[in-house]
């Protein structure tokens, strides 16, 4: 024998629901009492805004140090080709300096910087990191304190450090020296 089960009407079902799980739209008096003594100071808001701005500024990339055309060319070359041409380019750079031929040094040194980064890190980039910008700023500040003649001497010294570091396989130091050569060469060529 079958018994039929009848469902209660919908209106009875809704009214019979448990309403304890529904969210409350009004704060309880206890919460209001606790919040009454809390005041968000304006200086805290200003501090948080300044901290956020400084954080975002420090995380932003700087201007590219290496033009896209240069680092794309370096990345297209194989590692062995890059090593061989870097060796040649460094020797050419030092030969130009010894002849006091400064015409192409700024551009040649940027290409060497890109090649050194490729050898040091595996690929060349625009070198737009904050670290690179800080190195450039440091070198520019030091160069600003020297005379033009002292900068030419430092350019020759940095180029020799570049060659020595490269020959010893210390590509990280060679990259730093190449950046120094590029920055000083740019300052010397701009007058």
Report yes or no on 66 lying in a domain: no
Asked if 184 and 143 touch (Cβ cutoff 8 Å), the reply is yes
Distance, C-alpha 60 to centroid of its chain: 7
pLDDT in tens, 126-156: 998 889 999 999 999 999 999 999 999 999 9
Range of the domain at 142: 77-190
- How many residues make up the chain in this entry? 191
pLDDT in tens, 20-51: 555 555 556 665 566 555 555 665 566 667 66
Q: Which spans in 1-129 are helix H?
A: 10-15, 29-36, 42-59, 68-76, 79-98, 105-121
Query: What is the total count of domains within the chain?
Result: 1
Report yes or no on 149 lying in a domain: yes
Report yes or no on 96 lying in a domain: yes
Closest CA to 118 of 79, 88, 85: 79
Report yes or no on 5 lying in a domain: no
Query: Between 50 and 125, whose confidence is greater?
Result: 125
User: pTM above 0.95?
Assistant: no
Report yes or no on 6 lying in a domain: no
């Amino acid at each position: 024998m079958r018994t039929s089960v009848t469902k209660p009407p919908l209106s009875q079902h809704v009214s019979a629901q448990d309403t304890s799980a529904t969210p409350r739209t009004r704060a309880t008096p206890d919460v209001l009492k606790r919040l009454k003594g809390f005041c968000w100071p304006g200086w805290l808001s200003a501090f948080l805004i300044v901290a956020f701005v400084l954080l975002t500024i420090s995380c932003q990339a700087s201007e590219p140090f290496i033009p896209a055309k240069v680092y794309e060319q370096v990345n297209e070359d194989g590692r062995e080709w890059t090593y061989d041409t870097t060796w040649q380019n460094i020797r050419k750079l030092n030969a130009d300096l010894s002849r006091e031929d400064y015409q192409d040094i700024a551009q040649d040194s940027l290409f060497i910087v890109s090649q050194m980064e490729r050898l040091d890190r595996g690929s060349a980039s625009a070198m737009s990191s904050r670290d690179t910008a800080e190195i450039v700023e440091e070198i520019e500040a030091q160069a600003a304190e020297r005379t033009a003649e002292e900068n030419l001497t430092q350019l020759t010294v940095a180029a020799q450090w570049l060659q020595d570091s490269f020959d010893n396989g210390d590509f990280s130091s060679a990259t730093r020296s190449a950046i120094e050569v590029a920055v000083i060469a740019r300052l010397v060529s701009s007058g």
